[in-house]
Amino acid sequence: MRKGKRGFALVLAAVLLCAAVLSGCSGSKGDVKVKIGEVTRSVFYAPEYVALGKGFFKEEGLDVELQTIPGGDKTMTALLSGAIDVALVGSETSIYVYQQGSDDPVINFGQVTQTDGTFLVSRQDEGELDWNQLKGKTFLGQRKGGMPQMAGEFTLRKHGIDPHQDLNLIQNIDFANIASAFLSGTGEYVQLFEPQASIFEKEGKGHVVASFGVESGHLPYTVFMSKQSFIKKNGETVQKFTNALQKAQNWVQQHTPEEIADVILPYFKDTDKDIVVSAVKRYKDQGTYATDPVVDETEWNNLLDVMNQAGELKEKVPASAIVDNSFAEKAKSSVK
């Protein structure tokens, strides 16, 4: 009898232990998996890394997997094919999909950056910039049709420079190789993101002379987006995702570049902390990081103007067609 009771007690203990283990695991197993594809790894996207590093996605019950897919076209292909659920990429890519007449358009739901993130870097230290100095010079630009190049051209035209007539404009170098091409001696000027611009300055290989972000104004520059079908099927998940983004945006606004660098540095293991701090400070000082996920109409219309000047806009696409601010508005009002 004792043996029977002992055996029963052991079985009961095993059952309870198993239940405890399963219960303990249910939190992580219950988290909804979301696959993000970012167009590049950049300090420009600091709020994304803060949302991951500070556990804000996890707090919302999301298990987020991040991968970098170089190039807006490749990132969008991954989104359309279902290889990823959410893309962090320039909002112009959603317009290109819309212009092609997609039955399942890509919807912008959470803005991350609200200005261009590139800087004009000169090989020589020329003091205060006179934009006319660029005329006749070789300029290493970005990919045709991408937001960096369009914002760059928009800025040049604003200063009376025709980028295709007044410059020797080079656009056929892959994004990953632009910096090395400049280092090898190509061009007097180059358009670079951070932290590369700060690295060049630290090493004395270039000088930041202007910010295309400041010059081109507010744009829905980099936005979290997904297919309309995914959003309709996973509205609760999208809301949780946007809540986490708002938490990260609040945190970025409330903390110093040094504190932000501490959180995001694991995503930039090959970059010195002082470079990351410098890059974050430059972006914070010029208001690059959006304070909330809302894509407002003024920003959207500025984007359309930039694209139109670049000859990349077939028709004016109203924000209402491919922007859904309902998740952002709810996050903005409820997340403190």
Among positive and negative, which fits the CA dihedral 83, 84, 87, 88?
negative
Among positive and negative, which fits the CA dihedral 326, 330, 335, 336?
positive
Over the chain (336 residues), what is each successive 10-residue block's mean pLDDT? 39 35 43 96 96 98 97 94 97 95 96 96 90 96 88 95 95 88 95 93 95 95 98 98 98 98 96 96 97 97 95 94 98 95
Confidence (pLDDT) at 7: 40
Q: For residue 9, is it within any domain?
A: no
- Of the residues 198, 216, 234, which one is the last residue of a structural domain? 216
Query: Do 96 and 242 share a domain, yes or no?
Result: yes
Query: Do 128 and 270 share a domain, yes or no?
Result: no
* CA pair distance 239, 261, nearest whole angstrom: 27
Specify burial of residue 50 (Cβ count, 10 A radius: 0-12, 13-18, 19+): buried
- Of the residues 165, 193, 216, which one is the last residue of a structural domain? 216
Confidence (pLDDT) at 55: 98
- Of the residues 165, 186, 216, which one is the last residue of a structural domain? 216
Query: Do 201 and 266 share a domain, yes or no?
Result: no
Range of the domain at 41: 32-115+219-334
Query: Do 157 and 209 share a domain, yes or no?
Result: yes
**Type and span of the H or E element at 193:** strand 189-193
| Beta sheet of 207-211, edge-to-edge order | 168-170, 138-140, 189-193, 118-122, 207-211
* CA pair distance 85, 81, nearest whole angstrom: 10
Query: Do 241 and 94 share a domain, yes or no?
Result: yes
Q: For residue 279, is it within any domain?
A: yes
Residue written as token pair 């993130």: 117
Q: Which segments of 136-272 does DSSP mark as H helices, in order?
A: 147-158, 178-183, 196-203, 212-216, 228-233, 235-254, 257-264
Confidence (pLDDT) at 3: 41
Query: Do 80 and 124 share a domain, yes or no?
Result: no
CATH number at residue 123: 3.40.190.10
Query: Do 207 and 138 share a domain, yes or no?
Result: yes
- Tell me the helix, strand and coil percentages in the chain, rounded to 5: 50, 15, 30
Query: Do 187 and 250 share a domain, yes or no?
Result: no
Q: For residue 10, is it within any domain?
A: no
Strand partners, 192: 119
Query: Do 223 and 323 share a domain, yes or no?
Result: yes
Q: For residue 23, is it within any domain?
A: no
Helices and strands (H and E) in the chain: how many? 16, 10
Q: For residue 316, is it within any domain?
A: yes
Query: Do 111 and 224 share a domain, yes or no?
Result: yes
Confidence (pLDDT) at 39: 94
At 75, which amino acid appears?
Answer: T
Strand partners, 210: 120
Q: How many CB atoms lie within 10 A of CB 158?
A: 13
Confidence (pLDDT) at 29: 58
The total of structural domains in the chain comes to: 2
Query: Do 289 and 328 share a domain, yes or no?
Result: yes
